[in-house]
Amino acid sequence: MIKKIQCVMLVDDNKIDNFFHERIIKKHDATIKVLPMPFAEEALEYLKATDDRQQPELIFLDINMPGMNGWEFLAEYHKLPSENQQSMIVVMLTTSENPDDRAKALTHGILSDFRSKPLTKEMFEEVIEIYSKSQNQ
């Protein structure tokens, strides 16, 4: 049985990408809450909050962003409580064609995947399946 995703975070400074990716997610399931975060720092503050905010199960993370980039975000993400990390899947979603970036992503251990933009309906469904399998283990 595929587990339903309740909340997805988009960490990307490109507003057009966030808009497009949110539409893809909403077309898959209009009830999914989408949290577009244009700055990695803002996304981390959201994840660190101890209030009743809905935490994402899935994070699509861009590599190249001004200020804190995707790699720096991941370094800080590793400092979150382990129970938070275990309930989330982080997917690098980037325009980078650099094979070194793909290799570097795999060394972070938390990534379920490394995908090229743009997010497609099929890609989103594949990631949902990966999430579902990881939660059923």
Residue 8 has pLDDT above 70, yes or no: yes
Closest CA relative to residue 12, chosen from 34, 43, 49: 43
pLDDT number for residue 120: 94
Task: For residue 10, list its beta bridge partners.
Answer: 36, 60
Instruction: With H, G, I as helix, E, B as strand and everything else as coil, classify residue 112.
Output: strand
In tens, the pLDDT along 88-116 reads: 888 888 776 776 766 666 666 545 567 88
Distances (CA, A) of 52 to 48, 49, 118: 11, 8, 31
pLDDT band at 78 (very low <50, low <70, confident <90, very high): confident
Instruction: With H, G, I as helix, E, B as strand and everything else as coil, classify residue 83.
Output: helix
pLDDT number for residue 67: 94
Residue 1 has pLDDT above 60, yes or no: no
Question: pTM for the whole thing?
Answer: 0.87
